Amino acid sequence: MKAPGKVQITVWLLGLAGAALFTILLIRQGAPQVGAAFASAGWAIAAVVIYHFAVPVVLDAAAWWVLFPKSDRLPLRRLLWMRWIGESVSTLVPSAAVGGDIIRARLASINGTPVPVAAGSVLVDVTLGVFTQAGFTVLGLALLVGVTGQKNFVRPTLVGTLIGVLGVLGFYFVQRLGIFRFLARVIARLANSPEWHSLVQSGETLDRTVRTLYARRHALVMCCVWTTISLVGGSGEIWIALYALDLHATFVNALILQSMVLTIRSAAFAVPGGLGVQEGGYLFVGNLLGIPGDAAFALSLIARVRELALGIPGLISWQVIEARRLLRARLAAIAR
């Protein structure tokens, strides 16, 4: 069996496992009770969808926008559209949460940004995003301990966060050392074909661009600032849902849920859409905060509806873009 086939089977197995976990948790909490809690949210579901696009997506686009050199910077409204499509792909397509980042780099290059800058800006954005989210995890953990007094989960959470940070820190250093030229040279040697030698030059260009982006310290700081505001501001949509469900609607509780569920879902990034994992996160953290199981599951369902409401149009927009490009390429080929 070829490697791509094994990867595809693994993704499907993880997806099935997530679906099974989702079903088990739903049955345990009682489907009628969960349905009633979800229905009671009413207006909040639409409000959460609107809020997510107007706050986290816009702020994430701003965090990406500041990383571009002014000479290659696209208008913020275009990057907002690309960020939305990228998030849609990461959320709904079983691509281990990295497919959306590849797509937004591709969209940026299609819209006139040099390929090295488009790819490099996404790499830097993702790297800084992991570091920022690690800090957000520690903040949420400290608040959770302060609110509940529970400490038995602190060590494994911190250890997992530290492992993730060390992994990304290693990725940062290999970026600075020139990993892409090295990989290109390996591929060119394995291919043993003159056509592949241009890949080495492309890898060297990308390495040089990434180092240039990391040298812009003010841009890096502002990217982290906007990402932090996005993470904290994203708690607002959970607060809206908590308020609609007549639960413990404090911003601290919303921030704790936002931080811990993001951490749990990130740790299980290989599960498509975090299916089952996200629900388990809401149930676990919600139980610590005194939120009933059916209501905690309903919170997760509200988040799922938001993902679908924004993600499906995003995927359609992406497919329309690709279809148009393919059609133009074929018409141009016929004309020649």
pLDDT tens-digit profile of 26-55?
787 777 888 888 788 788 899 999 999 999
Q: Give CA–CA dist 172/135, Å, rounded.
A: 17
pTM tops 0.75: yes
Q: Which amino acid is at 168?
A: V
pLDDT value, residue 201? 65
Residue 281 near residue 260, CB atoms below 8 Å: yes
- Whether residue 38 contacts residue 26, with contact meaning beta carbons closer than 8 Å, is answered with no
- Is pLDDT above 70 for 187? no
Answer for the pair 296, 282: CB distance below 8 angstroms, yes or no: yes
The pLDDT value recorded for residue 185 is 63
For 2, which DSSP code? -
Of 217-231, 260-274, 311-325, which one has max mean pLDDT?
217-231
Q: What is the pLDDT of residue 5?
A: 60
- List the end-to-end C-alpha distance of the chain, in Å, as a whole number: 40
pLDDT at 11: 66
- CA 37 to the chain's CA centroid: 27
Residue 182 — pLDDT band, cuts 50, 70, 90?
Answer: low
Whether residue 113 is predicted with pLDDT greater than 70 in this model: the reply is yes
Statement: residue 91 has pLDDT above 90:
no
Q: Is the pLDDT of residue 258 over 80?
A: yes
How many residues are recorded in the chain? 336
Amino acid making up residue 32: P
Residue 128: pLDDT over 90 = yes
User: Ranked by mean pLDDT, which of 26-40, 51-65, 103-117, 314-328 comes out on top?
Assistant: 51-65
Q: Please provide the average confidence, as pLDDT, over all residues in the chain.
A: 84
Mean pLDDT of 271-286: 84
Weakest mean pLDDT among 27-31, 53-57, 85-89, 283-287: 27-31
Q: How far apart are CA 232 and CA 321, in angstroms?
A: 32
- CA pair distance 153, 129, nearest whole angstrom: 24
User: CA 260, CA 235: separation in Å to the nearest integer?
Assistant: 11
Share of the chain above pLDDT 90, in %: 36
pLDDT of 1 > 50? The answer is no
Q: Which residue has the higher pLDDT, 249 or 221?
A: 221
Average pLDDT for 267-296: 84
Per-residue pLDDT at 200? 60
H helices of 268-292, in order, are 277-288
- Split at pLDDT 50, 70, 90, the class of 25 is confident
The pLDDT value recorded for residue 65 is: 97
pLDDT at 93 (0 to 100): 79
pLDDT in tens, 160-171: 778 877 877 887
- Number of Cβ atoms within 10 Å of the Cβ of 4: 8
Rg of the chain over CA atoms, in angstroms? Answer: 21
